[in-house]
Amino acid sequence: METAGAAIIDDLRGAGLSVAKGAVPEPLTGGVSCDVWKVATVDGPVVVKRPLEQLRVAADWHAPVERGASEVRWLRRARAVDPRMVPEVLAELPGYGFAMRFIPGAPVWKDELIAGRVDAGFAAAVGARIAAVHAATAGDAAERDAFPTDAMFRALRVDPFLLYVAEHDAELAPALRALAADLSERKIALVHGDVSPKNILVGADGPVFLDAECAVYGDPAFDLAFCTTHLLLKAVWLGDARLREAATAMVAAYREGIGWEEAAGLLLRAGKLTAALLLARVEGKSPAPYLTDPEHRRIVRDQARALLLTPAALDALVANWKRTLK
């Protein structure tokens, strides 16, 4: 800890940032793929994020380099779309880390939802801002070339969330494999890849998006589906109807922002992806840690399996989502 902290301070100084005298990097809670630290500078606190060399979930993936670099690229691209929606990147650091401005007084959205503070207006802003990034990057060959991360997306998203379940469920395998192939091939816009309430801060100027390590040029329906999945799982877990209302508001606001293709097609793809992601969170490699109650898992599994066999557009899926099954 001591030496890692000193190295971080050296790196920040090397990048021209004025680290405060006597500053000690403070670890922030986060995932298993990165070190995340808060460090005081004379211009205010910054966050330093550095990808770990080896990613446990994809040990054979050879490119931690791209992971850190693509996160920075996504943050910068999103900032050009709407500067309120991401922290400002201040410097890139050795080891493919980077420093960004710390957003003060902004709780993690997941914690707010769990505490019962469910704001449909905020959810709508999440949908609108994600759609804005998709709209700004749709059909852009240069953007596509800037994110050569298809292999990473496959290893961290397609394989664990879609294909793993296919291997264990013969009835659903054809639908899941078709979905995986479509997701891998569809190149429409810049996708964040991890739009989860745990990666969104509730900022004074609306949602702030973090943690774009899975960014890829791909199907924008994935981001909408990924976030909707989290809200619907939490609706079952917490038994709170307002979480479904939040999902409704998010999807409606996102829909307003679709300008690059027909909304109906995107919402159907998002509906299929949401069904698959819901199932993956009860049957897959990374089950939702809070869905431990077997009845909750059954509620999610039964609805998700039915939706994979008979797909629904995302708006209809959300409207019909049940927190209990009689």
Ligand X SMILES: Nc1ncnc2c1ncn2[C@@H]1O[C@H](COP(=O)(O)OP(=O)(O)O)[C@@H](O)[C@H]1O
The one segment of 120-128, 177-185, 195-203, 275-283 that binds Mg ion by CB under 5 A: 195-203
In the region spanning residues 82 to 141, those forming contacts with ligand X, defined by CB under 6 A, are 87, 100, 102-103, 108
Q: Extract the runs of DSSP E, i.e. beta strands, from 149-287.
A: 189-191, 200-203, 206-209, 216-218
Q: Could you give the CA distance from residue 23 to residue 288 in angstroms, rounded to a whole number? A: 37
Q: For residues 192 and 200, is the Cβ–Cβ distance under 8 A?
A: no
Which residue stretch of 17-25, 85-93, 191-199, 247-255 sits at the interface with Mg ion (rule: CB under 5 A)? 191-199
CB of 31 to Mg ion, least distance (A): 5
- In the complex, minimum distance from the CB of residue 119 to ligand X, in angstroms, rounded to a whole number: 18
Provide the angle, in degrees to the nearest 10, between the axes of the packed helices 173-185 and 263-283. Answer: 120
Measured from the CB of residue 161, what is the shortest distance to ligand X in angstroms? 17
How many residues of this chain interact with Mg ion, rule: CB under 5 A?
2
Within 1-30, the residues that bind ligand X by CB under 6 A are: 28-30
The gap from C-alpha 181 to its chain's centroid, in whole angstroms, comes to 20
If you search the block for the tokens 């211009």, which residue do you land on?
43
47 part of the interface to ligand X, by CB under 6 A: yes
* Residues contacting ligand X: total by CB under 6 A: 18
Q: Which does 188 bind (CB under 5 to 8 A by kind): ligand X, Mg ion, none?
A: none
What is the three-class DSSP state of 249?
helix
Query: 3-state SS of 223-240?
Result: HHHHHHHHHHHHHHHHCC
What single letter denotes the amino acid at residue 256? E
For ligand X, which residue of 8, 33, 193, 237 counts as binding (CB under 6 A)? 33
- Positions touching ligand X (CB under 6 A) are 28-31, 33-34, 36, 47, 49, 87, 100, 102-103, 108, 198-199, 210-211
